[in-house]
Each structure stands twice: as structure tokens, then as C-alpha cells.
Structure 1
Amino acid sequence: MPRGQKSKLRAREKRERARIETQGLQGSEASATKVSALVQFMSEMYKNKQPIMMAELQKVLHKKYKEESFEILKRAMDRMEVVFGLELKEINPNSNYYYFASKLNIAKGRSLTGGSGLPKSGLVMVLLGVIFMNGNRASEDEIWEFLNALGIYAGQMHSIFGEPRKFITKDLVMERFLVYRKVPKSDPPCNEFLWGPRAYAETTKMKVLQVLAKINNTDPSSFPVLYEEALRDEEERAQARAVNDRAGVRSKGK
């Protein structure tokens, strides 16, 4: 694909994602309040290792939200998946009892565990996705614009992540998930985020693209520029593994 055409397509994808992400994660003010209430309820159930009944979720919604209940519940579950990397699964077929299980493979670190009892790896995947969709580097403004749509604000203590700015610019940098640096020759001076070495080691561009697609209720191929780059990344990783395997075989043969 020609460079100019690819740049235009990437820009159009970025605008479309931003529009859908904000609508999908926030919704109306009233329903956003119920989404937050459901997320809080489900978080407590997860921390206490208690199964969840669909009837209990309906009680949290109340009768006046009956018409919107499916959409509110969907947004709440999407929020649990995006922020915490948890997805709802049924304990047994037709049991109506559910539990949350982690769907991410990022290893635990000091910054990803804590007294809250909730995993933080989901937010790491979101941040890596924002960086990926912005050309593999994202400005602070781009990061916070996305996080604000999730109800996460700099300087405002969060029950799971603590102070978000510290979590992102200090903890995740120390854990080597993110690189946080000044933009060379920027005027006025500004900072940007990149993937850290641990992010490259423990996840892939295809996996974070799947997270972005989930947020947008679509599939990865809907973002052709990013999908093409993610496929190249998968191919390069496969080639590197093949080289390492051959080297290992030669080493053992000596």
C-alpha cells in the first residue's frame, strides 16, 4: 500500500476508533452511572471470590433501567475486560452462576498486583493498544484522552490503580512495560510513551489489537493498517523463534 494512502487510512481509523470508543465506554450520563455501579459490584464479587448470578446483576440495575439493561450490562463487562483483563464465564452450562477469569498472559509484577485484589494487566494492554494505534508512540494527551473515557483521571485517586499518573509514569516504567521519555526537539517540551522491553517480550501487537477491536465491538481486520502491521509482527516473531530453535538444535548436537 502506498505510503500516502496508508497514512490517510491510519488517520481515518484513528478518528473512527476515538469516536466509537468514547460512545461505547461512556454512553448517557444516567447509564454511565449504572455501568460504574455494576463494575463496582462485580469487582467486589471478584475480590471476595464469590460466584455471580445474573439475577443479582438485574437487581443492581433496578426496574427503571430494564429497557437499557442489556446495553448497560455489556458496557460493564467490557469495562471489566478492558481495565482488569477479566471476562465473565459460566461455571457450568445452564447453571446461571458466573465467575470472572483472567484472559491476559502478561506476567504479574509489583505494579500489577496489590492490596485491591484486582489485576491491573487489562489497563496495561489498553495503554499498549493506544500506543500501537498512534504509530507506536503516544503523547501524554493521547493517553489521557483515552483514560478519561474509562473514568481514570490524572491526580484523582483510583481504588485499583492508586494515583494513575504515578502508576503509568513510574510503576509501569519501572516494571519495563512502558518507556516514558521527552520528545526530542519538541517545542513546547512534551513527553511520549512507547512499548517497553517487557511488553515486547510478554505480548504481541495482534493481542493488543484484539483488545482494541473488543472495545469497538468489531474484529482486528476492521483496522487494515494496524492488522497488516500486527501480521508482520507475528511473522517476524515466528521467524525469530525458528532461528532460535535451529540454533538450539545445533548446540545440542555438538
Structure 2
Amino acid sequence: MKTKLIILLLFLSINNMFSQEITKTDSIVPIKKDYLKFDYKALIIPSAFMAYGIIGIESDGLKGFNANIREEVTEDIDDKFTIDDFSQYAPAIAVYGLNLFGVEGKNNFKDRSIILGTSYLLMGTWVTVMKKTTRIERPDKSGFNSFPSGHTATAFASAEFLWQEYKDVSFWYGISGYVVATGTGFFRIYNDKHWLTDVAMGAGIGILTTKIAYWVFPLMENHIFNRKENRTTAMVAPFYNGKQLGAGILFKIN
């Protein structure tokens, strides 16, 4: 059952990538900057994730499936692995790491930082509001803030960020983020912190908010971060204090 769960999440994640019109190459080459244009087809996969999560709030059938998945995944657990506390940020960190080693992505440092900061801001707000309004108890009964999974939302937001920045440089760079994000979602269930519906909702929110960040970036660039008038340096610092997640953005405008 553990293997089937991982394969299911990964399959749906990869399908999200193929729902976009992309150019794939295994060679590492610099690419021209190109804005991501709105495409309603890109809404299908994240919407499916979120619909599953929302329906699961009231559906007795999905609640029962949640319980079965939890029992299968968490049985005979002796030790919990807190790798998900760190893996949620790994795809986003990889973007900056690849740039540091000279592998250029779609956007420069300032632009990608603004996009990531926008994504984290939207995602963090959405997750926080839903946690406070739904008040669903965690599987381990440690609190009433289970829905949706913030770790999973962060991981999939980061994975979509890596995908958008590097899908045209190398398909394998892009897909690696979704592998890590799927693992993060699995470990949230394995560590008895979330139900499958929490993870599905978090995945949908994460993917969608990053897509939105790319779609609105041209407007932000033209009306807020006018490159003709200002030279701006930006740095994004994501944080998680055990209860809340978010991102701080530092701007230096000359």
C-alpha cells in the first residue's frame, strides 16, 4: 500500500507537468526568458487534487479511505522521520543552487525571488485560512489544524517553481522536484501528521499558487518592479516554526 500511495501521488504530479505545452531537452543549455501565459488546462490537475481534498471533508467513504491509508502506512512504525521538515524546501533551494553552479534557469535572481515570494505568500495565506476555518483534527490528535497539509503545499509550490525554471533546460531537473514533493507528502502521512485528503489539498494549493505567481509576474514587473527605473536585489527566506509557515522577502532598491 505504501508503494501504491507513492506511485499514485507521483503519477498525478507528473501528469500535471504534461498538461502544459513544453519543449523538453536533456541537454543543459541557456534559454531565453519567456513569460508563462495563462492556460486553463494547467488548472485541471491542481483542481482535481483540491476537489478530492474538499470532498473528503464530508464524505464518509473518503474518510474511511483516509483511515485505511493511515493504518497501512503507519503500521509497525517504530521511529518517525522528520525529513519532511526539510524536504519541503529542497526543490526551491535547488533552483538557487543550480544557478550558483552556473546552470541558468528561466529567470534571473531578482525575478525568480519575486515569483517564489509571491507563491509562498499566496500559499501560506491560503493554508492558514483553511486550517483555521476547517479545524480538522490531526491523525495523531496533536491539534485541530490538519487540513490542508502546509508541508505538502510548500513542497509542491517549490516543485512547480523548480519545474517552471528548469523544464526547458532539462526535463530531469524539473521532474526531480515533484519526486521530492511526493515524498514529502508521503512522510506527512507516515509520521501520522496528516490524512491523505490533507496532503492532496496541500499539493493542489502548492501547484496552483506557483502557477498564479508566474501568471501575475508580468503585471508585477511592469507596475511594481519597473526594471527601467530601479535596480532591485531581492532575497527570499522561507521559514517554518513548527506551527506556521511563510516566507520573508528582502528588497534592496537602488
- Under a length normalisation based on structure 1, what TM-score does the superposition of the two structures give? 0.24
Looking at CA atoms only, which structure, 1 or 2, has the larger radius of gyration?
Answer: 1
Higher relative contact order (CA 8 A, sep 6+): 2
